[in-house]
């Protein structure tokens, strides 16, 4: 069905870059001020990003992982505290938890939306729960009313991992604006990028102060002798990154709008293909389609997701089955608890209130999702031909297996 390469797939250098980024970068170089303190672009990006989301504070950092670590660090959990999160995510969601000597605990996912089940979250909550990190996977919003209700009743802060969810909407509210913190990534493959980078947003004045301190070694940067108010890390964004981020912020609405339009076209085509299921979108919500996940009716087609994906790939359509392959808790650092030498901290260090070990079937919905989910890379540069080629290939492969069955 397809021999020509798809836009940017396999080469994620093709984001919407142009004169705006060049202009800003040139201004930074000519100013000679590449450090965020004394420059203008990082501060501008923080202010404009916060304003775009209708919140008071933005704290820029070096990556999406750093953005999450800034949020967790500002909350200052005690060693051995537990933070509940998603079993399908990047390790960048987990690193901030473990590096703050907290223990990641996992809630199972909704079978058809791939976000954390509120009921599963509730079963994991105890008196050592320090936070909940929800992951708006692929751009699908989590059931935030239910999660926030659970958290509010127990006084637990909620962190939104929005690395894949720029301009995702939940009942008219933007992802990242509903929890205590919203955290975003500017890594190359995201809806907007500066190559790498991150930003943490919040409406909480006190937490914003601590987050900013945590991102800058605990240094308040006020006049007088240098002093450090808390233990923090050097997660400062530089002016070159900030310059690109400012330009990208002006393009993200176009990026997301194009992705949604292309996804709507493919969804309409898939709805007419027997045995292939497009991604569900939560009612009264807006998906932002970082990726386009599909499933198949294995009984109707008589084929496994793995074999269907191999056939789709043979038709020239980039696709993969299983996303991360196994739940994140089965990755070696968590499965073997090897974060800090041979100590098994934080899982077995003083402060942990219970022994936590991870087993593959701890989250059965997650295991089943990873067995059956098929990921089609998505991009704002897809043309009508690109989308139709994907649809035609899906139709061809599905028809083949229906006949064979």
Which residues contact residue 263 at a Cβ distance below 8 angstroms, ignoring those fewer than 6 apart? 279, 287, 289, 292, 378
User: pLDDT tens for residues 148-174?
Assistant: 999 999 999 999 999 999 999 999 999
Residue 226: pLDDT over 90 = yes
Would you say residue 379 lies in a domain?
yes
Q: Are residues 180 and 258 in the same domain?
A: no
Would you say residue 260 lies in a domain?
yes
Q: Are residues 272 and 178 in the same domain?
A: no
What is the per-residue pLDDT for 147?
A: 98
Domain encompassing residue 216: 19-250
Strands of 169-170's sheet in order across: 173-174, 169-170, 285-286
What is the per-residue pLDDT for 14?
A: 58
Identify the CATH number of the domain in which residue 34 sits.
3.40.640.10
Q: Among the three residues 250, 269, 292, which one is the final residue of a domain in this structure?
A: 250
Q: How many domains does the chain have?
A: 2
pTM reported for the whole predicted model: 0.97
Q: Which three-class secondary structure state does DSSP give residue 381?
A: coil
User: pLDDT tens for residues 322-360?
Assistant: 999 999 999 999 999 999 999 999 999 889 989 999 999
Q: How confident is the model at residue 7 (pLDDT cuts 50, 70, 90)?
A: confident
Torsion of CA 193, 198, 203, 205, to 10 degrees: -140
Identify the CATH number of the domain in which residue 301 sits.
3.90.1150.10
Q: Are residues 234 and 260 in the same domain?
A: no
Q: Are residues 181 and 239 in the same domain?
A: yes
Q: Are residues 69 and 138 in the same domain?
A: yes
Q: Are residues 175 and 290 in the same domain?
A: no
Q: Among the three residues 213, 233, 250, which one is the final residue of a domain in this structure?
A: 250
Would you say residue 343 lies in a domain?
no
CB 80 within 8 A of CB 354: no
Q: Are residues 261 and 240 in the same domain?
A: no
Q: Are residues 281 and 374 in the same domain?
A: yes
Q: Are residues 168 and 213 in the same domain?
A: yes
Q: Are residues 176 and 296 in the same domain?
A: no
């Amino acid at each position: 069905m397809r021999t020509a390469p798809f836009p940017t797939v396999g080469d994620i250098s093709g984001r919407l870059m142009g004169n705006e980024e060049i202009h800003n970068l040139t201004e930074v170089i000519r100013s000679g001020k590449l450090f965020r303190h004394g420059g203008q672009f990082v501060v501008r990006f923080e202010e404009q990003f916060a304003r775009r989301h209708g919140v008071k504070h933005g704290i820029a950092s070096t990556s999406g992982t750093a953005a999450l670590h800034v949020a967790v660090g500002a909350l200052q959990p005690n060693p051995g505290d537990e933070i509940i999160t998603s079993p399908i995510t990047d390790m960048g969601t987990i690193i901030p938890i473990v590096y703050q000597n907290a223990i990641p605990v996992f809630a199972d996912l909704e079978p058809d939306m791939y976000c954390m089940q509120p009921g599963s979250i509730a079963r994991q909550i105890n008196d050592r729960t320090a936070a909940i990190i929800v992951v708006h996977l692929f751009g699908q919003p989590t059931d935030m009313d239910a999660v926030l209700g659970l958290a509010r009743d127990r006084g637990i802060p909620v962190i939104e991992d929005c690395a894949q969810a720029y301009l995702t909407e939940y009942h008219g509210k933007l992802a990242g604006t509903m929890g205590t913190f919203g955290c975003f990534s500017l890594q190359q493959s995201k809806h907007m990028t500066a190559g790498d980078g991150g930003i943490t947003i919040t409406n909480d004045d006190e937490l914003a102060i601590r987050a900013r301190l945590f991102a800058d070694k605990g240094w308040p940067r006020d006049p007088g002798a240098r002093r450090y108010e808390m233990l923090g890390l050097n997660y400062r964004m530089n002016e070159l990154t900030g310059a690109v981020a400012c330009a990208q912020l002006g393009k993200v609405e176009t990026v997301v709008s194009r992705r949604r339009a292309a996804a709507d076209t493919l969804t309409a085509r898939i709805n007419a293909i027997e045995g292939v299921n497009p991604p569900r979108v939560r009612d009264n919500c807006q998906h932002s389609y970082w990726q386009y996940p599909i499933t198949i009716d294995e009984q109707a087609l008589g084929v496994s997701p793995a074999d269907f994906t191999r056939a789709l790939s043979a038709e020239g359509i980039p696709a993969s089955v299983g996303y991360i392959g196994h739940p994140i808790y089965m990755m070696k650092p968590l499965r073997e608890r090897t974060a800090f030498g041979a100590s098994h901290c934080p899982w077995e260090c003083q402060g942990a209130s219970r022994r936590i070990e991870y087993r593959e079937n701890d989250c059965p919905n997650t295991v089943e999702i990873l067995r059956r989910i098929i990921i089609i890379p998505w991009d704002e540069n897809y043309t009508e031909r690109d989308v139709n080629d994907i649809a035609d290939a899906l139709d061809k492969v599905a028809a083949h297996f229906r006949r064979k069955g």
